[in-house]
Chain A
Amino acid sequence: MPFCSTDLGLTFDPQIGERLIDLFAAFMLVCSLLFLATERRRLHVRLYAFQSLSLAIVAFSVAFFQCERHIFIAAILTLILKVIIIPIVMERILHRLIPQQTVKPAINIPASLLIAGGLVLAADLLTQSILATGHQFALAQNVLTISIAVMLLALLTMVTRKKALTQVIGFLSMENGLFLAGITITAGMPMIVELGVFFDVLVAFFIMGVFLYRISETFDTINLERLTKLKH
C-alpha cells in the first residue's frame, strides 16, 4: 500500500492538491466533449483510456493529499481495469467488427457541442443550488460541476450516436463521472460500494461486448437503427 503525504512526513500547500485534482478533472470534461466532437471509433477508445487515466490520477491525488488510504485501491483498480484492460479488449472488438460505412448521428456535431455547452452550464447551476443548501464538501466545488457535466455529456453521447460501440463508451464514461463525484464529494464511498460498482462496470462491459458481436453478426452492422426491426 503506498503511503500518503503525512506518512512521508511531507507537508504541502493544500492548494497544490486541490489544483491537481481540478486540472485532471478538467481533462475528463474535455474528453467528454471530444467524445461528442468526433466520429472515429478508435479515437473514442483512446479518449476513454485517457479519461480513465485522469480519473485514476484524481483518485491518487485524493488518496495522497487527503490521506484516504482505501482510495488507493480504487485508484489502482481504475488504472488496471479502465485504463488498460477495457481499452485493450475494446480495441480487439474493433478489429473483429465488420468495417462499415459511417452513420450520421441523430444530431450533428456542431449542434451537439452547443447542447453540450448548455449542459455544462446546467450542471454548474445545479451545483450552485446544491451548495446553496449549505452542504460542505471535502474538495473543490468545480469537481462536482465537472462530474455532473461528465455524466450528462455521456448520456447525451448515448442519445445522439447510433453506433452500439459509442453507446458502450458513453455508458462507461458516465460511470467515470459518477465515480469522480463519489471520490471527491464524500472523500471515498465505503470500500464495499466502490468494489461493487467496479464489478458492475466490468460485468456490464462484458455483456455489452457480447451483445456487440451478436448485433454485428446478426445485422452485419452495429448501427442501432436496424434494431427497430426487432419490434415486429
Chain B
Amino acid sequence: MDAHLLFIFSAVLYLAGAVSALFGSPKTRWGAYLFAIAASLTGLISSLLVLLNNSPITVHIPILQSLKDLTPTLSLFSNMGLHVDALSAFFVLLISMLTLPVSIYAIGYVREYEGKKSQELLGVLYNLFPLSMLLVVTANNALLFLICWELMTLVTYFLVTFDHENPENVRAGSLYFIMAHVGTAFLIALFVLFYQHSGSLDFDSFRQIAGSWSELPKTLLFFFALIGFGMKAGIVPLHIWLPEAHPAAPTPISALMSGVMIKTAIYGLLRIYFDLLRPDMEWWWGVVILALATISAVIGILFALIERDLKRILAYSSVENIGIILIGVGLAMIFYAYPSSVKFETLASFALIAALFHLANHTVFKGLLFMGAGAVFQATHTRNLEHLGGLIRWMPWTAACFLVGAVAISALPPLNGFVSEWLIFQSLILGLAVPDLVVKVALPVCAALLALTGALVAACFVRAFGITFLARPRSDKVEQAREVPLPMRFGMAVLALLALSMGLTATAIVPVLSNIASSLVNSPGIETALVNGTILSPPAANHGTVSPLGLAWAFLFLLPIGIWFMLIRSPFQRRIAPTWACGLSTLSPQMEYTATGFSKPIRMIFRSLIQPRKEIIEETDESSYVKRRVRVRLDVQSPFDRSFYSPVSAFILKSSRSIRKIQSGSINAYLAYIFLALVVLLIFAR
C-alpha cells in the first residue's frame, strides 16, 4: 500500500468527518466519530509504513502550490507542503494510535451531551483537532506550521470552553488562550529570526544555513523555542494553564490534549534542536532543559498528589511526565553536543530512544487514565475524590482498565511505563561518562529526584485508584452509578491491552525508535547493541540489562507458587472478621481514609514548597462549648502564581488602565487620531 496516498486519505477523512457532523441528524450523531476512526486507522497504517520502510513521503497541497504561483517574487513559500520523515511519522503514529480508541470511546461518551449541547459543534471540532495536530507535525514550512499551530490552539480553546455554562471552564479557556498566544508570540519571533538569516520560511532553507549561527542569535533561538514550545508542553513555570484547561474539556478531548497535544510541543523542540539547529547545538542547552525537566517532574507530581479532582490529578501528572520525557531530551542534547574528543553520539541516541519510548507510553496510559476518569465522571457526575469510593463494585470494567493505567504510569513491570523509565534511568547513569563537573554533579541529583518522582507517582495513583474505586461509597452519587456503555469500555480496553503489549514487546519497539533517534543525531543505529533476543541492554555492556518479556514469564511462573504460599501453606489462614470501628458499633463511610488525609504526610514534608493554608471555622451555639459545625478549609496556592503570575498580571492591568485613557469611546476622537496621523505623515514623511 502507498503511504503517501493513505496519509492524504487520513487528512481528507478527518475533513469529511468535520463536514458530516454539520449535516448529521441526531440519530447519526456518531457518524462523525466513525470518520475519525477511519481517518486514524489510515493515518496509523500510513505512518507505520513510513517508519518500517524508512522512506519519507512529501505531500504537496495544490492550493498552496497555486498560492506560490500567484506570488512568484516571494521565496517565502517556495516549498510549502507536508513532509513526513521518521520523526513526523512517529508523531503521526501517536496521534492516530490515540485518536482511534478515543473516537470509539467518544461514541459512547457524547450521549452525555445529548439534548444539552450542540452535537454538531462537538463533532466538527473533534475531527478538526486531530487533523490540526497531524498538520503541525508534518508541516515543512514555518508559516504553514504556525497556521496549523494556531488552528490547533483555537480548536482546543473552543473545546475547553465547550461547556461554557460553567464559568470556571470559561476562565480556564481564557487562561489557556492567553498562555497559548504568549507561546505563539515566541514561536513567531523564533521563525522570524530564522527567516532573517535564511531568507525563506521553508524548513529546508533553515537546514541549509544550520551551522552558521553566531552566539547571540543562537542563544535567542534556544530560549524562544524553549519558552514557545514549553508553554504548550507545560514545563513547570509555564504549566499553570494545563491543570485548568485539560479537565475543563469533554473527556475524549482531555485524553487527546494530555495524550498527544502537549507532545506536539516536544515534537517542535526536537525538530528545532535536533533537526534545524543540530550542528549549532550547545551542551549547556541540555543542562537547562534537564534542570527544568527535573523540576517539572517533581513539582508536577507533588501538585497531583494534593489535588482532589480526578481529572486535575491526571493533568498535573502530565506535567510530571513531560518532565520525564524532557529529561531524556536534555540528556541527549548534553551527550550530542558535549565538546570533547570522545563523541557520545551512541549515548545521545540511547537517551532519545528512552525519551521517545516514554512519550509513546505516556500517550497510551494517560489516554487510558483520562478515559477512566471520564467514565467515572459520566457515571457519578462528580470528579471530586472525596465523593467517590467503592466504584469497583458498580464499574468493574472501568476499574480494571484504570488499574492497568495506574500500574503502567507507576512504572511497574511488565507494563510499558517500566521499560521507558528504566531506559531513562540507564541513560542518566551512563551519562556519568561525560567528563564534566557540572554533568557529574547534575546527573546524580537528577536521578535521585527522578527516583523520588517515581515513588510519588506510585503514591499518587494508589490514592487516585484506591479512593475512587475501593472501600465504601463516600456519597450517594456512587450508588446510582452504572457501568459505562460498551463503546467506552471497548476504547479503554484497547488502550489497556496496548499498554501491556508495549511493555512485553519492548524489544521490537526499540529498533523502530532507534531508527528515528539515529536520524535525529545523524549516527548509525544502535539497535543491535541494544536488543539481544528479548533482552534490552544499554550501550555499555557492564551495566544492567532487562527483559520485559522474561519478567512477564517469570511473573506468570511465580504466580502459582505465590498463590500456593499465600492460600494453602500460609501460616496465616484467611479469616473473615469485622473491621475494628474504634469501639463504635457500625462502620460508616465517614470513617474512611479521605483523599486529603491520604496526602497529608506529603503535604507536611513539602510544606515549604507547596505552602498549604488551613483555615478552621467553628460555628458554635449559644455556648462556645457546644460546637454546631466545624469546617476546615484547606487550599494550596501555587508558588508560581504568587511570586510570578500575580505581579505580572497586576502590572499588565495597571499599564492597560493608563493606556485606556486615550480610549474615550467617542467616534470623533478616533477619527481625529486617524486624521492627525495622516496629516502628520503626509507632511513629514513624504
Complex: chain B residue closest to A164, CB-CB: B667
Give A161 to B667 CA distance when docked, in angstroms.
10
Question: Is B675 an interface residue, CB under 8 A from the partner?
Answer: yes
Residue of A119, A125, A148, A227 touching B666 (CB-CB under 8 A): A227
Contact B671 A155 (CB under 8 A): yes
What chain B residues lie within 8 Å of A130 (beta carbons)?
686
The answer, among B664, B665, B671, B683, for a CB contact under 8 Å with A159, is B671
In the bound complex, residues from chain A placing their C-beta under 8 Å from that of B672 are 159
Kindly identify, within residues 159 to 212 of chain A, every residue whose CB is under 8 Å from any CB belonging to chain B: 159-162, 167
B73 contacts partner chain A, Cβ-Cβ < 8 Å: no
With most chain B CB atoms within 10 A of its CB, the pick from A122, A125, A126, A158 is: A158
A152 beta carbon closer than 8 Å to chain B: yes
Instruction: Please provide the chain B residues from 281 to 304 with a CB less than 8 Å away from any CB of chain A in the complex.
Output: none
How far is it, in angstroms, between the C-alpha of A213 and the C-alpha of B672 when the chains are bound? 24
Check A155–B682 contact: CB distance below 8 A.
Answer: no
CB distance from A121 to the nearest CB of B (A): 11
| Residues on the B chain within 8 Å of A119, using CB | 679
Q: Which of B664, B674, B682, B683 contacts A228 (CB 8 A)?
A: B664
Contact yes or no, B671 A158, CB < 8 A: yes
Any chain B CB within 8 A of the CB of A156?
A: yes
Q: Are B667 and A129 in contact (CB under 8 A)?
A: no
Nearest neighbor of B660 in chain A, beta-carbon distance = A231
Interface residues of B in 642-674 (CB under 8 A from A): 663-668, 671-672, 674
Task: Please tell me if B678 contacts chain A, counting CB pairs below 8 Å.
Answer: yes
Chain A: minimal CB distance from B663 (Å)? 7
CB <8 Å contact, A126 and B683? yes
Are A224 and B668 in contact (CB-based, < 8 A)?
yes
Instruction: List the A side residues contacting B667 at CB < 8 Å.
Output: 167, 224, 227
Task: Count contacts on B: residues with CB < 8 A to the other chain.
Answer: 15
SS of A interface (majority): helix
Name the A residues within 8 Å of B664 (CB-CB).
228, 231
Q: In the bound complex, do residue B679 and residue A122 qualify as a contact, i.e. CB atoms below 8 Å apart?
A: yes
Among residues of A, the one whose C-beta sits closest to the C-beta of B686 is: A129
A159 touches B686 (CB 8 A): no
* Interface: A217 (CB within 8 A): no
Q: A125-B683, A130-B686 are in contact. Are A160 and B668 (CB under 8 A)?
A: yes
Given contacts A125-B683, A126-B683, are A155 and B668 in contact (CB under 8 A)?
A: no
The CA-CA distance from A121 to B142 in the complex, in Å, is: 48
Bound complex: CA A181 to CA B678 (Å)? 17
Give chain B residues whose Cβ lies under 8 Å from the Cβ of A161: 668
B665 engages A155 (CB within 8 Å) = no
Q: How far is the CA of A62 from the CA of B683 in the complex (A)?
A: 29
Chain B residue with Cβ nearest A105: B668
Residue ID in chain B nearest A157 by CB atoms: B671
Which A residues touch B678, using CB under 8 A?
A: 152, 155
Q: What's the least CB distance linking B520 to chain A, in Å? A: 49
Interface residue A230 (Cβ < 8 Å from any Cβ of B): yes
Q: Is A225 an interface residue (CB 8 A)?
A: yes
* Chain B residue at minimal CB-CB distance from A126: B682
Interface residues of A in 95-112 (CB under 8 A from B): 106
* Distance A225 CA – B664 CA, assembled complex (angstroms): 11
Residues of chain A with a CB closer than 8 A to B671's CB: 155, 158-159, 167
> Which residues of B are found within 8 Å of A162, using beta-carbon distances?
668
Interface string of A218-229 (1 = CB under 8 A from B): 000000110111
Q: How far is the CB of B153 from chain A (nearest CB, A)?
A: 29
Q: Which residues of B contact A231 (CB under 8 A)?
A: 663-665
Which A residues between 124 and 139 are near B, CB-CB below 8 angstroms? 125-126, 129-130
B683 CB to closest chain A CB (Å) equals 6
- A173 smallest CB distance to B (angstroms): 14
With A122-B679, A155-B671, A155-B678 known as contacts, the answer to whether A224 contacts B686 (CB < 8 A) is no
Q: Pick the contact of A155 from B663, B675, B683, B686 — CB < 8 Å?
A: B675
What is the CA–CA distance of A224 and B671 in the complex, to the nearest angstrom?
12
User: Of all chain B residues, which has the CB nearest A228?
Assistant: B665
Provide the A110-123 mask, 1 if CB < 8 A to any CB of B, else 0.
Answer: 00000000010010
B188 CB to closest chain A CB, in angstroms? 30
Which residue from chain B places its CB closest to the CB of A130 in the assembled complex?
Answer: B686
Q: Which residues of B contact A152 (CB under 8 A)?
A: 675, 678-679
Q: Are A106 and B668 in contact (CB under 8 A)?
A: yes
Greatest chain A CB density within 10 A among B666, B668, B679 is at: B668
Distance in angstroms between the alpha carbons of A204 and B73 in the assembled complex: 33
Q: Which residue of chain B lies nearest to A133 when distances are taken between CB atoms in the complex?
A: B686
B675 touches A122 (CB 8 A): no
The answer to whether A122 touches B665, judged by C-beta atoms less than 8 angstroms apart, is no
CB neighbours of B665 from chain A (8 A): 227-231
A146 to chain B, nearest CB (A): 15
Q: Report how far A228 CA is from B679 CA in the complex, Å.
A: 26
Q: Which residues of A contact B668 (CB under 8 A)?
A: 106, 158-162, 224
Report if A159-B666 is in contact (Cβ < 8 Å); known contacts: A122-B682, A125-B683, A130-B686: no
In whole Å, how far is B669's beta carbon from the nearest beta carbon of chain A?
A: 9
Report Cα–Cα, A174/B674, bound state, in Å.
14
Nearest chain-A residue to B676 (Cβ)?
A: A159
Q: Given the complex of chains A and B, what is the CA–CA distance between A159 and B671 in angstroms?
A: 5
* Chain B residues whose CB sits within 8 angstroms of the CB of A129 once the complex forms: 686
A227 → B minimal CB distance (Å): 6
CA distance A158 to B666 in the complex (A): 12
Chain A min CB distance to B656 (Å): 14
- Closest Cβ of chain A: how far from B665's Cβ, in Å? 3
**Distance between Cα atoms of A206 and B296 in the complex (Å):** 56
Q: Given contacts A225-B666, A227-B666, A231-B663, are A159 and B675 in contact (CB under 8 A)?
A: yes
A62 to chain B, nearest CB (A): 25
Q: Across the interface, name the chain A residue whose C-beta is closest to B664.
A: A228
CB contacts (< 8 Å) of A228 on chain B: these are 664-666
Bound CA–CA A224/B667 (angstroms): 7
Report the minimal beta-carbon distance from B475 to chain A, rounded to whole angstroms.
42
Say how far B528's CB is from chain A's closest CB, in angstroms: 65
A224 touches B666 (CB 8 A): yes
A228 to B668, CA, bound (A): 10
A134 CB → nearest B CB, Å: 14
Residue of B nearest to A225 (CB): B666
Q: How far is the CB of A12 from chain B (nearest CB, A)?
A: 35
Q: A125-B683, A129-B686, A130-B686 are in contact. Are A155 and B666 (CB under 8 A)?
A: no
The docked-state distance in angstroms from the alpha carbon of A122 to that of B668 is 22
Q: A155-B675, A159-B671, A159-B672 are in contact. Are A122 and B666 (CB under 8 A)?
A: no
Q: Which residues of A contact B674 (CB under 8 A)?
A: 155
Please measure, in the bound complex, the distance between the C-alpha atom of A125 and the C-alpha atom of B684, giving whole angstroms: 11
Beta-carbon nearest neighbor of A231 in chain B: B665
What's the nearest-Cβ distance from chain B to residue A127, in Å? 10
When distances are taken between beta carbons in the complex, the residues of chain B under 8 Å from A156 are 675
**Cα A225 to Cα B666 with chains together (Å):** 6
Choose among B663, B664, B665, B683 the residue with the greatest number of A CB atoms under 10 Å from its CB. B665
Q: List 6 A-B contacts (CB under 8 A).
A: A126-B682, A126-B686, A158-B675, A167-B667, A231-B663, A231-B664
Enumerate the 5 nearest inter-chain pairs by beta-carbon distance, A residue then B residue, closest first.
A231-B665, A228-B665, A159-B671, A159-B672, A158-B671
Known A167-B671, A224-B666; 17 more pairs at CB < 8 Å: A106-B668, A119-B679, A125-B683, A126-B686, A129-B686, A148-B682, A152-B678, A152-B679, A155-B671, A155-B678, A156-B675, A159-B672, A161-B668, A224-B667, A227-B666, A227-B667, A229-B665
- B→A interface (CB under 8 Å): 663-668, 671-672, 674-675, 678-679, 682-683, 686
Q: Using a CB–CB distance below 8 Å, which chain A residues touch chain B?
A: 106, 119, 122, 125-126, 129-130, 148, 152, 155-156, 158-162, 167, 224-225, 227-231
